[in-house]
Chain A
Amino acid sequence: MENNCRILNRIVQINIANVKYSDLELSGNTCFVGTNNFGKTSLQRAILFFYSANTRGLGISSSQKPFEEHYFKFENSYLIYEIQTENKPFFVIIYRHNKLVFRFVDAEYNPDFFFNENDEAIKIKEVISGLDKRGVFVSQQIDTFERYRNIIYGTETDKVLSKFHILKGNEKYQNIPKSITNVFLSSKSSIDSRFIKDFIANSLTTENSSIKLEQVERQLRQFNEKYSDIETYIKKDTQQLIEFIDKKYDQVHMLKGAQMEMADKLGSSLRYAETQNETVIKASQDKQAELDRITEINDEQKTLLEEKQKDVREEIGYYDRTIREANKKLKDYKEKNIEQAVDKNAEREKIQVELNIARREYESLTSNVQSIEMKFSSLIEQLRNDKTAYVNKINSRTSEIFNHYNELQLLQKNEFNKKEAELKQKREDALLEINSEMTEKQIEFNELKAEEKVIRNTRFYETEIKAHETELADLRAINYKNKSELAIKTNLVQSNQKDWEALETKLKSSLSNQIQKTNNEIIRIKTEIKNIEEKLNVQHNALYGYLEKNVKDWQHTIGKVVNEELLFRTDLNPSLTEEQGLSLYGVSLKLDDVKIVSKSIEEYQFEKNERLAIIRDLEESLNQFQTANNEEKMLAADKYGKQLGELKEDLKVLTYSLELAEKREKKLILELEDWRQRASTEIEQSLSGNRQKLNIIEEELSILNKKKNNLLNDFNLQFDQLKAFNNERLADLKSRQESEISELEVEKKNQVKEYEEKERELSSEKESNFKAKGVDSKEIGKIDARIKELQEVLKEIDQYAQIVSDYLKDKREIFDKLPDLIQKKDEYVKSANDLTAELEEISRKYNIKRMELNKQKRALEEELIEFNNGINYFTKNFRETPVFNKYADIIDRAEPKKTNYSVMDLCTQLLKNDSHFNEEYGAFQRYVNEFAGKFRLDNHFNFIIRNDATQGEYERFAQNLRSFVNENKIELSIAETATQIGLVTDSIATKVRELSGQKDKIQHIITLIAEDFKKAEFEESKLIEFIKIRLEDSDNKVYKLLKRIQEFREENGLVYNEGLFNTDFATHKHREISNRAVKLLDQLRTAIKEQEQEEIRLQDLFELKFNIKEGLNETGWTHKIDSIGSTGTDILVKAIIYITLLHVFIKESSHRGSSDFKVHCIIDEVGQISAHYLRELLRFAKNRNIMMINGLPNKSGLEAHYKYTYQFRREENNNVRIFPSIVTEVEA
């Protein structure tokens, strides 16, 4: 047993795997001999587990049972490691308590602790209680591997446990177990520099310290895809397509809306038609009944009035006739000088008296001469009688002639009168006929006039016009409201945009300020790092390096008095002089209180690392700032974008609704105009019908007038002819009367003259007789003349006595009543007029009402026809079309409502519009497909549309696209992508920096290894002349690109996101930088794809080359060292290299003061090595405080070189027994 040195002294297996019990000492070189599958490797793993305490790093393949399950099968399975220390040993128990746990026991291993009197392994509880009873310290259960390693490698802070260490490791102590593990795991591989690289790298790094290319590739892919999406989006073609889609969507939307509206109208109209059919028929019948009723009433009224009118007319006719006859009589009387006759008749009495007086006077005068008188008087009387008889005879003949002619005249007059009366009657009849016809026409004319008046007063399509006017007014009111809302929202958009821009500018400037500030700080720190690096780089060749190598504890002497600059000067050529002492050029100084000026390499390294950490922190905080800034930007974009989007959407909606309203207004105005036009046309049509009728009637009236005039003229002519004939006939009769009478008068005159002559003769004879008798005849003559004269007057008066009497009778009975008759007639005329007016009024009213009802009835009938036509058209020409199916829901669900459009028009329009809609929709679909097709299938904007997408999906696509544009989401995406490029490059740079930061460690280790090789005493055996090792730059393409990205990142900092898609000339530089970044990332992505490497590890950062000379063979600088010589040589070289590596790592990872420990190097197969080489190897290891544990397949004499040799044997029960082989150690 080695003393005063810490070492794993013993390994005890109790019920471990197939080993029931084994207790093996390991404090020197140890060899396990046994054929394959006897448990050599298992035991070596168990030893390795002591150092690594990592069940996953033991080289157990995934097909094998895990360490815990294979080793710790039982409750009482224990693995016990005893560690030799400077004082007394302690041991560690490993057992399974669900998982593997550890306990440290402050005592030498004693089997009694674990076995009972029956040699059965006891449970851990009993073990612990047994130990407690014995007063042995047992630690608490150590649950984690890490804590166990901390304790074993002396970094545990718990004082109770800190003594249970094998060595005092520093912060890098993890390299020791790693190195031991790596030697064990790679011992079977051929010797390649890659394994050495892996060895060094794996020893220096943790599992996570690699750049996972899959992750990088994912980031790059994500970035690249986003970048490409954005690039596609901002292309001119794509933008044009967006505009087309937007426009087409509006059109399609509008058309669809119009179609739906129309479908709704169609549905309403149809429902209305269906529900109103009966009602309309009923209404039409009601109108007809009403019409019949008013016609009947009108007829009754008319008949009544006409009867009254007839009575009145008869009265008027009577009075008219009476008055006319009276006037005629009066006229006849006047023609006969009736007044003179009446006057004369009034004097008759007086003349009669005068005659009687004259007669009495004459009788008194002639009383003396009565006989003569008598004689002569009788003679004269006789004569006179003759004369009178003659005169009478003549007169009678005259009178006879007169009467005859008068009778003839009378007959003629009668004939005339009769004819005239007949003619008059005829005329009256004809006139009556014409007049009645004229009256009829006049009535008709008046009716038409009244109808015209009604038509003029009727407002056709009043409902429609009113509805349009109301709608127009409403529309204008809404328009006004919308316009003001539009103005308000436009202002709001502008102000929001300004706010957003202001905020963006603020964020941008704050980011650029922060970036500037951080970059300045980074530059400053980088300068400091550069200074430190310069020091570190030159330290090997400078005074510092010399002191490190040659002067022990120089920091406490020279380090306190030397200028730091001097330490790193390379031109001082330091050398050790003979005189050594603690003096400065011979002057002794007390330096206890003097501060050390110089710093250790670790301190410089630490300072550098500290500064690098500061840079990282700064960049991290900048990143955070940028992220926060971006987040703020995104929040603003989200807030303003959303608001603006909504507002813009509103604006669009408002503009659209205004456009629609404008269109609607125009349409309404046109429709209103149309309705008005239709109304006026209707009036015109009705009026023109009326006018035509009026014209015809006027024409007819004028014809009738003409006819009447002709008739009158004709009759007048006939009258005139009749009169003329009558007058002629009368004149002829009169002239014949007069001539015959005048002939008789002449005859009478002559005869009377004869008679008067004779009388005069008789009178003169009488006179002479009287004279003879003395009587005054003169006086008698006078009286006689007087008597004659009076008689004549009386005669004349008597001649007119009858007429006067008639006259007076007529006067009394007729003429005096004439004013009354006229008045009565006037009254009747007035009454007749009133009746006519009344009749006209009734007719007018009736006509208006009739027309109104007719109109209503006609309208209802037309409506009914339209309904039926509409329903028929719909059933025959619309219901089976796809258009109906498309809008069936709307049509079927519509409420019955009257619309201004006919079903037929609506069907036609719907069909027509649908074809237009299909055309527009096709174009819309094509645009959407073309647009979506420009993007990747899984583009991050989610611009995807399936080929069999529904209309709704296409419309949603367009809506989403519109929102995307309105909310300016592309800016967000650009910002995100810009941030992403920053983050990706930053993440790559950080990873590369972290990884390449360890390159220094590699360099350091390689230097140490190279030095260790140098120190090796190969010369002794002369087997190996030298082993040289050197580092070269990596030729890994991916790493090179990663490095370039890191350099790019260092060079340009974080400011390259602004110009990612910016075409602004002002930021041209940024764009160039961005393009470079994009290009670099693209190249990296391609390289990763081509190289198919999963990760970039530390070993990819450099190339390791060896140059080995064995005997006369020199390999030259090569990656591979498997062809140096024989297999044995190769194994030796490999083992030497591993041991060197292990030695270097142990040295590096352990505390400076800790040198009194030994560790094991486990290399399984060394069977092919020669004894000579083995001895060389064991010595090489021993010089480095390393004990070898090797495996041999069988005893070959090699085992003689080991301190302990154990043999493995499988027993019948399949258990393995391990027992020490009795050999003699030749040399170690």
Chain B
Amino acid sequence: MEETNFNLPKQTHEIFAIMARGAFISSNGSRDGMNRLYDVINNPENFDRLQAYFNVIRYNIERGNNFFYFSKLNEPNSELEKKLERFERYIDIIDLFASMDNKIGIGSRFRPSEIAEECNANVRLKQKLQKIPLYRSETLHNKVREICELMSRDSYLELEDEKSESYKVLDSYNYLLDVINSIAIYEEGTSASDDNQAIIYN
């Protein structure tokens, strides 16, 4: 279908390129004009057009609190499971972030070295960091770095200043918090029907 039929904004390709790889577009992102892209999608006229356009290719634009992302229509269960598996690692990361003295929230700016230092000084945090299983880095600093890189790749963080290695927490971080908050923990011994339900549900 021709783009012109939809009267789409000229940033459509850019938007697609970002969101189709599973990344978010946050309103407080500044790299590569992310905030501008957010404004473009957030424009009600554009949103309807983009939604209609992307629905054709079985993508749905989901609106979060100051961020957008794609969801796939009729996604197979195996894919969902993979996503859940991928998400698991974030539970520990968010737990670590939430336990810091200077809590990391939307808009927070920090350097991995700061987090590493705090973890080094606090046994509880250190254990939490060491518990995160995904990474092989030996030093705490490298481990935090890897976490930051992962989160940057998944567009929850943004490397604002490469020189000082300063990261900013993007609005998409809300997505992680929302999912975490939606987790229901069932006690053992509940009925089988309950067990069969998803662990995470929205």
Q: Which residues of A contact B104 (CB under 8 A)?
A: 947
Q: Are A931 and B107 in contact (CB under 8 A)?
A: yes
Say whether A919 faces chain B, with CB atoms less than 8 Å apart: no
Per-residue CB contact flags for chain A residues 129-172 toward chain B (1 = under 8 Å, else 0) read 00000000000000000000000000000000000000000000
Per-residue CB contact flags for chain B residues 153-168 toward chain A (1 = under 8 Å, else 0) read 0000000110000101
> Which of A184-192, A892-900, A922-930 is the interface stretch?
A922-930
Per-residue CB contact flags for chain B residues 64-85 toward chain A (1 = under 8 Å, else 0) read 0010000000000000000000
**Beta-carbon nearest neighbor of B174 in chain A:** A930
Say whether A232 faces chain B, with CB atoms less than 8 Å apart: yes
Q: Which residues of A contact B168 (CB under 8 A)?
A: 933, 937
A1133 to B30, CA, bound (A): 55
Per-residue CB contact flags for chain A residues 1120-1152 toward chain B (1 = under 8 Å, else 0) read 000000000000000000000000000000000
Say whether A934 faces chain B, with CB atoms less than 8 Å apart: yes
A1214 to B58, CA, bound (A): 83
| Also in contact, A947 and B102, with CB within 8 A (given A932-B107, A933-B107) | yes
**Beta-carbon nearest neighbor of B65 in chain A:** A237
Q: What interface size band does chain A fall in?
A: 20 to 34
Partner of A930 from B105, B160, B166 at Cβ < 8 Å: B105
Per-residue CB contact flags for chain A residues 923-966 toward chain B (1 = under 8 Å, else 0) read 00110011111101100000011111100000000000000000
**Beta-carbon nearest neighbor of B105 in chain A:** A926
**Beta-carbon nearest neighbor of B167 in chain A:** A947
Q: How far is the CB of A938 from chain B (nearest CB, A)?
A: 9
Say whether B35 faces chain A, with CB atoms less than 8 Å apart: yes
Partner of B109 from A228, A926, A933 at Cβ < 8 Å: A933
Partner of A947 from B27, B66, B109 at Cβ < 8 Å: B109
Q: Which residues of B contact A946 (CB under 8 A)?
A: 109
Q: Which residues of A contact B107 (CB under 8 A)?
A: 929-934
Q: Are A237 and B66 in contact (CB under 8 A)?
A: yes
A944 to B110, CA, bound (A): 12
Q: Which residues of A contact B40 (CB under 8 A)?
A: none
| Also in contact, A947 and B35, with CB within 8 A (given A925-B103, A930-B105) | no
Q: Which residues of B contact A237 (CB under 8 A)?
A: 27, 66
Say whether B95 faces chain A, with CB atoms less than 8 Å apart: no
Q: Which residues of B contact A926 (CB under 8 A)?
A: 103, 105-106
Q: How far is the CB of B104 from chain A (nearest CB, A)?
A: 7
Q: Are A948 and B28 in contact (CB under 8 A)?
A: no
Say whether B99 faces chain A, with CB atoms less than 8 Å apart: no
Q: How far is the CB of A775 from chain B (nearest CB, A)?
A: 159
Q: Are A922 and B102 in contact (CB under 8 A)?
A: no
A403 to B132, CA, bound (A): 135
| Also in contact, A947 and B106, with CB within 8 A (given A232-B35, A936-B30, A937-B160) | no
Q: Which residues of A contact B160 (CB under 8 A)?
A: 937
Q: How far is the CB of B76 from chain A (nearest CB, A)?
A: 36
Q: Are A937 and B106 in contact (CB under 8 A)?
A: no
A947 to B101, CA, bound (A): 10
Q: Are B35 and A948 in contact (CB under 8 A)?
A: no
| Also in contact, A929 and B27, with CB within 8 A (given A937-B160, A937-B161, A947-B114) | no
Q: How far is the CB of A237 from chain B (nearest CB, A)?
A: 7
Q: Which residues between 12 and 44 of chain B lie within 8 Å of chain A, taking CB atoms?
A: 27-28, 30, 35
Interface size on B, residues (CB 8 A): 21
Q: Are A933 and B169 in contact (CB under 8 A)?
A: yes
Per-residue CB contact flags for chain A residues 791-821 toward chain B (1 = under 8 Å, else 0) read 0000000000000000000000000000000
Per-residue CB contact flags for chain B residues 86-101 toward chain A (1 = under 8 Å, else 0) read 0000000000000001
Q: Which residues between 205 and 240 of chain A lie within 8 Å of chain B, taking CB atoms?
A: 228, 232, 237
Say whether B55 faces chain A, with CB atoms less than 8 Å apart: no
**Beta-carbon nearest neighbor of A228 in chain B:** B35
A937 to B101, CA, bound (A): 22
Q: Which residues of A contact B30 (CB under 8 A)?
A: 936
Q: Which residues of B contact A934 (CB under 8 A)?
A: 27-28, 107
A470 to B127, CA, bound (A): 58
Q: Which residues of A contact B182 (CB under 8 A)?
A: none
Q: Are A937 and B66 in contact (CB under 8 A)?
A: no
Say whether B122 faces chain A, with CB atoms less than 8 Å apart: no
Q: Which residues of B contact A936 (CB under 8 A)?
A: 30
Partner of B106 from A228, A933, A944, A949 at Cβ < 8 Å: A933
Say whether B108 faces chain A, with CB atoms less than 8 Å apart: yes
| Also in contact, A933 and B28, with CB within 8 A (given A925-B103, A926-B106) | yes
Q: Are A947 and B108 in contact (CB under 8 A)?
A: yes
Q: Which residues of A contact B108 (CB under 8 A)?
A: 929, 933, 947
Most chain A CB within a 10 A radius of its CB, from B27, B107, B110, B114: B107
Q: How far is the CB of A2 from chain B (nearest CB, A)?
A: 66
Q: Which residues of A contact B35 (CB under 8 A)?
A: 228, 232
A1024 to B202, CA, bound (A): 84
Q: How far is the CB of B39 from chain A (nearest CB, A)?
A: 8
Q: Are A948 and B114 in contact (CB under 8 A)?
A: yes
Q: Which residues of B contact A232 (CB under 8 A)?
A: 35
Q: Which residues between 115 and 162 of chain B lie within 8 Å of chain A, taking CB atoms?
A: 160-161
Per-residue CB contact flags for chain A residues 957-988 toward chain B (1 = under 8 Å, else 0) read 00000000000000000000000000000000
Q: Are B166 and A937 in contact (CB under 8 A)?
A: yes
A945 to B114, CA, bound (A): 15
Q: How far is the CB of B34 from chain A (nearest CB, A)?
A: 12
Most chain B CB within a 10 A radius of its CB, from A926, A936, A944, A947: A947
A948 to B113, CA, bound (A): 12
A929 to B110, CA, bound (A): 11
Q: Which residues of B contact A948 (CB under 8 A)?
A: 101-102, 110, 114
Q: How far is the CB of B133 from chain A (nearest CB, A)?
A: 25
**Beta-carbon nearest neighbor of B100 in chain A:** A947
Q: Which residues of A contact B114 (CB under 8 A)?
A: 947-948
Q: Are A922 and B169 in contact (CB under 8 A)?
A: no
Q: How far is the CB of A823 from chain B (nearest CB, A)?
A: 100
Q: Which residues of A contact B27 (CB under 8 A)?
A: 237, 934
A948 to B101, CA, bound (A): 8
Q: Are A930 and B106 in contact (CB under 8 A)?
A: yes
**Beta-carbon nearest neighbor of B104 in chain A:** A947
Per-residue CB contact flags for chain A residues 277-317 toward chain B (1 = under 8 Å, else 0) read 00000000000000000000000000000000000000000
A945 to B109, CA, bound (A): 8
**Beta-carbon nearest neighbor of A939 in chain B:** B30
Most chain A CB within a 10 A radius of its CB, from B103, B109, B114, B168: B109
Q: Which residues of B contact A933 (CB under 8 A)?
A: 28, 106-109, 168-169
Most chain B CB within a 10 A radius of its CB, from A925, A931, A945, A946: A946
| Also in contact, A929 and B166, with CB within 8 A (given A237-B27, A237-B66, A936-B30) | no
A934 to B67, CA, bound (A): 13
Q: How far is the CB of B44 from chain A (nearest CB, A)?
A: 13
A512 to B62, CA, bound (A): 47
**Beta-carbon nearest neighbor of A241 in chain B:** B107
A937 to B28, CA, bound (A): 11
Q: Which residues of B contact A949 (CB under 8 A)?
A: 102
Q: How far is the CB of A303 from chain B (nearest CB, A)?
A: 77
Q: Which residues of B contact A944 (CB under 8 A)?
A: 109
A932 to B66, CA, bound (A): 15
Q: Which residues of A contact B101 (CB under 8 A)?
A: 948
Q: Which residues of A contact B102 (CB under 8 A)?
A: 947-949
A295 to B35, CA, bound (A): 88
Q: Are B109 and A937 in contact (CB under 8 A)?
A: yes
Q: How far is the CB of B13 from chain A (nearest CB, A)?
A: 16
Q: How far is the CB of B162 from chain A (nearest CB, A)?
A: 11
A949 to B104, CA, bound (A): 12
A330 to B98, CA, bound (A): 113
| Also in contact, A929 and B161, with CB within 8 A (given A232-B35, A936-B30, A947-B114) | no
Q: List 7 A-B contacts (CB under 8 A).
A: A232-B35, A925-B103, A925-B105, A937-B109, A937-B161, A948-B102, A948-B114
Given A232-B35, A926-B105, A926-B106, 19 more pairs with CB closer than 8 A: A228-B35, A922-B103, A925-B105, A929-B105, A929-B109, A930-B105, A930-B106, A930-B107, A931-B107, A933-B28, A933-B106, A933-B107, A933-B108, A933-B109, A934-B107, A947-B108, A947-B109, A947-B114, A949-B102
